[in-house]
Chains A and B, each alone.
Chain A
Amino acid sequence: MTDDPKDEPVLSPRLLNAARAHLEPPAPPAE
């Protein structure tokens, strides 16, 4: 993320994928 302070550790792609997969939203319900 471009606005991260440089000295902050960030999640690895593997952890980020796990975080994003958790509660990944399904398609929005039809109205």
Chain B
Amino acid sequence: MDERQLIDGVLSGDPAAERLFYDRHLDRVWRLAYRLTGDGDLAQDVVQETFVRAFSKLDTFRGESALATWVTAVATTTALNALRKVKRFRGHVALEDAHHLAQPGRRSEPDLKRRMAEAIAALPVGYRTVFTMHDVEGYTHEEIGIALGVQTGTSKAQLFRARARLRKALADFAGEWIA
């Protein structure tokens, strides 16, 4: 079933088309929901809501972008709205691990992972979103721009600032940046 047939099928309420639509986009939506919310339960809610919204808004899809990009935009908006409601990004280092962070000179992998987790969680949500989508999940600035409703230049600027903050937070790992 090509994209147009799939869309027509969903719009006509064909359960097989809805299932196929869901299967085709689930992994991308789930990955984004999980990474952006930092919480498995919240991510599940985001996935459900994303598909409900996508199905209800599919009649507004004009084909100006790829369908996957459009679905990404719905998922991103839904995830960021969910995050705003809970007011807390949960993908952070637990407080009991925090004492591990204050040991200078340690550069073990568990230490790096904790420091990276802390640094990412400390980013403002806009920087964290762009960094996650671009550097972690591999979206282009054009896709990110469409998802967030911003110009590609804005996405690039936010990525630049995100990397600058991470570089500062992970200064102990100097030499790990490729200019």
Contacts and interface: CB of A to CB of B under 8 A. Distances in A.
A14 to B, nearest CB: 6
* Contact size range, A: 20 to 34
B134 interface: yes
A1 B177 contact: no
Interface residues of B, number: 40
Contacts, number: 79
A25 B35 contact: yes
Given A3-B140, A11-B177, A15-B170, A29 B116 contact: no
Contacts of B140: 1, 3
B127 interface: no
B134 A18 contact: no
B134 A25 contact: no
A7 B178 CA distance: 10
Contact of B178 (A9, A26, A28): A9
Contact of B113 (A11, A18, A25): A18
A11 B178 CA distance: 6
The 8 closest A-B pairs by CB, nearest first: A25-B34, A28-B30, A12-B176, A18-B116, A9-B177, A9-B179, A25-B31, A22-B117
